[in-house]
Amino acid sequence: MKFIKAYIKSMRLYYSFITGIAGWIGVAHYEHIVKEFRTVEVMPGEERKGIILVLLFLSWGINQIFNDYLGRKEDAINAPHRPMVTGELNPVAALTLSTFLMLGAGLVTWLYLEPVAIIPLLLGVLLNIIYEYAKGCGIWGNVIFGLMIAQCTAFGFLASGPTQAPYFTESRMAVLSIVWLMNGLMTFYTYFKDYEGDKAAGKKTLVVEYGLEKSRFIAIFASILPGVLFLVLYFTNQIIARINPIFIILGLITLFLEIQTGWLYYKSPKGKVTYYALATNFRACACGQATFIALNNTELAMVLFLISYVFVGFLFNLHSDVKG
């Protein structure tokens, strides 16, 4: 029980809404194609969608164990209370369990869902490992992290049922690019709390590279980038789906959360407030992803938006230790 408790703590389940909602964008789009175009796609059953949802929500935590193992050097400074740093979580046992669970996810995907969906699943695992090294190479850490989460959207779409090439049209790639940007930006804000440890460990993240003073101004400017990218893609007709009143309402709330995140890190680029601002940061990302579901399913988007807002905060508050 001690091992399981430490393992679950290390999963940091408030992040699961990032991968879960990112993947559900793909599922919602697949269902939209079934309803509107009636080609080879087949409406996924509740059991299939339930399995996809479980895989998506657990994917972050399972992969986080690998990330914690590779990042122990900087975590010893940034988060000395994390179970793998304190010795509470046995690294070999944790890695073995995560490997077993990941293999299980691959088998379920191959045998029960859609074999082609194994591609984004494997890419997500590979990118997670690459990220730990890319994190120390300036903006490449953000690029790799965003690509990693975008694999969840691709997985959700491809795992939902049979489909035909081209798998990724211009419009789908446009939405993936926004998921990529939102998550790359989200992880940029997390670098503020890790500034001292990353600097000591020689990890040249954007915050380390530019310093806290310049980075706090970048935080304000960058907060509007997802909204700007959406407007550019939408008004150049690279996103085919048309906006609706629910999308506009949720989009405006998301924009507020994103700007609030930028403002929080501008005001407090270091200290305890920097850590607690992560709740707003994660909410902005998860809710922003839920907003895109409104392009295909407004009711589902509203439900996921509200659930994300409430439970990201609830789960984050269970990790109140700034050193954990």
pLDDT in tens, 10-63: 888 888 899 999 999 999 999 988 888 777 778 888 999 999 999 998 888 888
Exposed / middle / buried, residue 273 (Cβ in 10 Å: 0-12, 13-18, 19+):
middle
Higher per-residue pLDDT: 275 or 248: 248
Q: What is the 3-state secondary structure (H, E, C) of the chain?
A: CHHHHHHHHHHCHHHHHHHHHHHHHHHHHHHHHHHHCCCCCCCCCHHHHHHHHHHHHHHHHHHHHHHHHHCHHHHHHHCCCCHHHHCCCCHHHHHHHHHHHHHHHHHHHHHCCCHHHHHHHHHHHHHHHHHHHHCCECCHHHHHHHHHHHHHHHHHHHHCCCCCCCCCCHHHHHHHHHHHHHHHHHHHHHHHHCHHHHHHCCCECHHHHHHHHHHHHHHHHHCCHHHHHHHHHHHCCCCCCCCCHHHHHHHHHHHHHHHHHHHHHHHCCCCHHHHHCHHHHHHHHHHHHHHHHCCCCHHHHHHHHHHHHHHHHHHHHCCCCCCC
Percent of the residues in the chain that have a pLDDT greater than 70, as a whole number:
98
- Per-residue model confidence (pLDDT) at position 286: 95
- The first and second tokens of residue 171, run together, are 């419009």
Beta bridge partners of 204: 137
* CATH of the domain spanning 8-317: 1.10.600
pLDDT of 189 higher than 80 = yes
pLDDT of 321 higher than 70 = no
Higher per-residue pLDDT: 51 or 171: 51
pLDDT in tens, 288-308: 999 999 998 999 999 999 999
Write down the residue that tokens 């489909």 correspond to.
163
pLDDT of 230 higher than 90 = yes
Which of 273, 287, 146, 267 has its CA nearest to residue 212?
267
Q: Would you place residue 324 in the very low, low, confident or very high pLDDT band (cuts 50, 70, 90)?
A: low
**What is the arithmetic mean of pLDDT over 129-147?**
90
**What is the arithmetic mean of pLDDT over 248-254?**
96
Exposed / middle / buried, residue 2 (Cβ in 10 Å: 0-12, 13-18, 19+):
exposed
Q: Would you place residue 69 in the very low, low, confident or very high pLDDT band (cuts 50, 70, 90)?
A: confident
Q: What is the 3-state secondary structure (H, E, C) of 87-130?
A: CCCCHHHHHHHHHHHHHHHHHHHHHCCCHHHHHHHHHHHHHHHH
**What is the arithmetic mean of pLDDT over 243-268?**
95
Higher per-residue pLDDT: 297 or 81: 297
pLDDT of 150 higher than 90 = yes
**What is the arithmetic mean of pLDDT over 269-283?**
90
**What is the arithmetic mean of pLDDT over 199-224?**
91
- Per-residue model confidence (pLDDT) at position 307: 94
